[in-house]
Amino acid sequence: MEKTTHIAVVPSPGFSHLIPILEFSKRLVHLHRDFHVTFIIPSLESPPPSSIAYLQNLPSNIQSIFLPPISKQDLPQDSHLAIQIQVTVTKSLPSLWNELKSLNSRSPLAAIVSDSFASEVLGFAKELNALSFLYYPSNASMLSFCLYLPTLHEEISGEFRDVPEPIQIPGCLPLQGSDLPDPVENRSNEYYKMFLQRSKRWLSTVDGLLVNSFKEMEEVAIRTFTQKESSYPPVYPVGPITRAGSDSEENGSECLKWLENQPPNSVLYVSFGSGGTLSQEQINELAFGLELSGQRFLWVLRAPSKSVNAAYLGSTNQNPLDFLPEGFFERTKQQGFVIPSWAPQISILSHSSIGGFLCHCGWNSILESVQKGVPIIAWPLYAEQKMNAVLLTDGLKVALRPKVNENGIVEREEIAKLVESLMEGEKSEAIRKRMKDLKIAAANAVKEDGSSTTTLSQVALRWKTLNGVQ
């Protein structure tokens, strides 16, 4: 009988953190059927229905366990979202340890794999004689920044945003301080301290880092990790890993029917991911900008919020359509389609009538857009999304980025101009060509002999070897 290699996987709370590491696990067991994966899932309050639904119909060699949920009352009040996620994981560590010990006693673990917010759990790996691996759901450039942050912390005093010249990070494009990720905006707050501490932990305790990117997309950043003088743990590019197949549901079928009646490459898809929200003022400007552009659009709209990531750990009961400018529906009924809160993104991006994607620059959405060959308007909101926008616009040149005014608002004229530029004209043609080339490279990376498939096989062999399987 073939011996099974057993690994434990620990995501952090939040649906958009569960998807990437679960999709990675599905890819692993699809390519290497002698693996068994146990998911151990911390949650804040009760697990969201979206997470429970997503865990249905998993392959038989992936199992999931929800840990006892942590109450919001036990978290620091009014703290940053990232701190809430991190504290949820920290408070779940005793029950995580019990589950890991129990699993290991029945079937020894070859590795513990966590996502970036759950990396505290990797401290248990040595006690269980298992390898510790981090699955990094974002890109190699951002991972390089994380690993280089302890050096930047020592080299630069004061706030990064006040540094006059671009900041140099190995393997990355030069970055303005204002485009660095949210956690480093204010060096005196808890969020920065947590982020820095996590970067140091990865450098000192992790046996390997899996990154959801591929060599052909981020050649320079990935090469940085493999240089002889690198002091980083081994980095394995295994992407692009995204949700596979169709995700259409009943409440998305209406917009798909509408797309059927639109010309090829004529519709701009507008969505800010599973957590992004806009202010009322910005919703108004976006609505008028789309109308002014004269281009067709399909817009996934959320109720407004002063926080840019208000929808990340839950949604409101408000009807988003109530917040559109007066008369907008009537004026744009021939031009656009607005869908509240959620849409079947993969089905939409796959549709022949979609010609562009106004996107918040979350890495999942970027990879889905690349795999479908859809050019982007890069509109970053939070986390590492500004860095991602720089990669898309200045590095890969497959996106346009809007300018914001002194109040941080993208005005309607700017929106209309960018939408027209992306959807038609010379600039549009050049962007489409580059995105088409990137789409081909993404498909090649995950073929049987592709760069990412080969890399994942190297990781699997490393885990099997530890487990006594050759």
Q: Quick: pLDDT tens for 319-339.
A: 999 999 999 999 999 999 999
Number of Cβ within 10 Å of residue 196's Cβ equals 18
Q: Is 187 left (phi over 0), alpha (psi -120 to 50) or beta?
A: alpha
Once rounded to an integer, what is the mean pLDDT over residues 120-142? 96
Q: What are the extents of the domains in the chain?
A: 5-239+447-466, 250-443
CATH homologous superfamily of 5-239+447-466: Glycogen Phosphorylase B; (3.40.50.2000)
The pLDDT, as a whole number, for residue 347 is 95
- Kindly tell me if the per-residue pLDDT of 298 is higher than 80: yes
Once rounded to an integer, what is the mean pLDDT over residues 124-139? 96
- Kindly tell me if the per-residue pLDDT of 306 is higher than 50: yes
The pLDDT, as a whole number, for residue 50 is 79
Once rounded to an integer, what is the mean pLDDT over residues 280-293? 98
158 confidence band (pLDDT: 50, 70, 90): very high
- Kindly tell me if the per-residue pLDDT of 250 is higher than 60: no
| Sole residue written with tokens 């979350």 | 362
**Statement: 250-443 belongs to CATH 3.40.50.620:** no
Q: Which residues of 433-443 are buried (b: 16+ CB within 10 A; e: fewer)?
A: eebeebbebbe
Task: Give the side-chain half-sphere CA count within 13 A for 459.
Answer: 33
Q: Quick: pLDDT tens for 94-124.
A: 999 999 999 999 999 999 999 999 999 999 9
Kindly state the percentage of the chain with pLDDT values over 70. Answer: 96
Once rounded to an integer, what is the mean pLDDT over residues 378-390? 96
Q: Quick: pLDDT tens for 437-446.
A: 999 999 999 9
CA 361 to chain centre: 8
The pLDDT, as a whole number, for residue 317 is 73
434 confidence band (pLDDT: 50, 70, 90): very high
Once rounded to an integer, what is the mean pLDDT over residues 275-296? 96
Catalytic residue chosen out of the listed positions 36, 115, 351, 360: 115
The pLDDT, as a whole number, for residue 470 is 41
290 touches 362 (CB < 8 A): no
359 touches 271 (CB < 8 A): yes
DSSP reduced 3-state for 165: coil
Check the CA dihedral 53-57-58-63 and report its sign.
positive
Q: Quick: pLDDT tens for 163-214.
A: 999 999 999 999 999 999 999 999 999 999 999 999 999 999 999 999 999 9
Give CA torsion, residues 249, 251, 257, 260, to 10 deg: -60
Catalytic residue chosen out of the listed positions 17, 36, 351, 360: 17
The pLDDT, as a whole number, for residue 444 is 98
The pLDDT, as a whole number, for residue 57 is 86
The pLDDT, as a whole number, for residue 26 is 96
User: How would you class 103 by CB atoms within 10 Å of its CB: exposed for 0-12, middle for 13-18, buried for 19 or more?
Assistant: buried
The pLDDT, as a whole number, for residue 310 is 62
pTM above 0.85, yes or no: yes
Once rounded to an integer, what is the mean pLDDT over residues 341-357? 95
21 touches 443 (CB < 8 A): no
1 confidence band (pLDDT: 50, 70, 90): very low
The pLDDT, as a whole number, for residue 247 is 52
Q: Quick: pLDDT tens for 62-92.
A: 999 999 999 999 998 888 888 999 999 999 9
The pLDDT, as a whole number, for residue 251 is 56
- Residue 17: active-site member: yes
Asked, colleague to colleague, whether 5-239+447-466 and 250-443 share their fold, the answer is: yes
Once rounded to an integer, what is the mean pLDDT over residues 21-40? 97
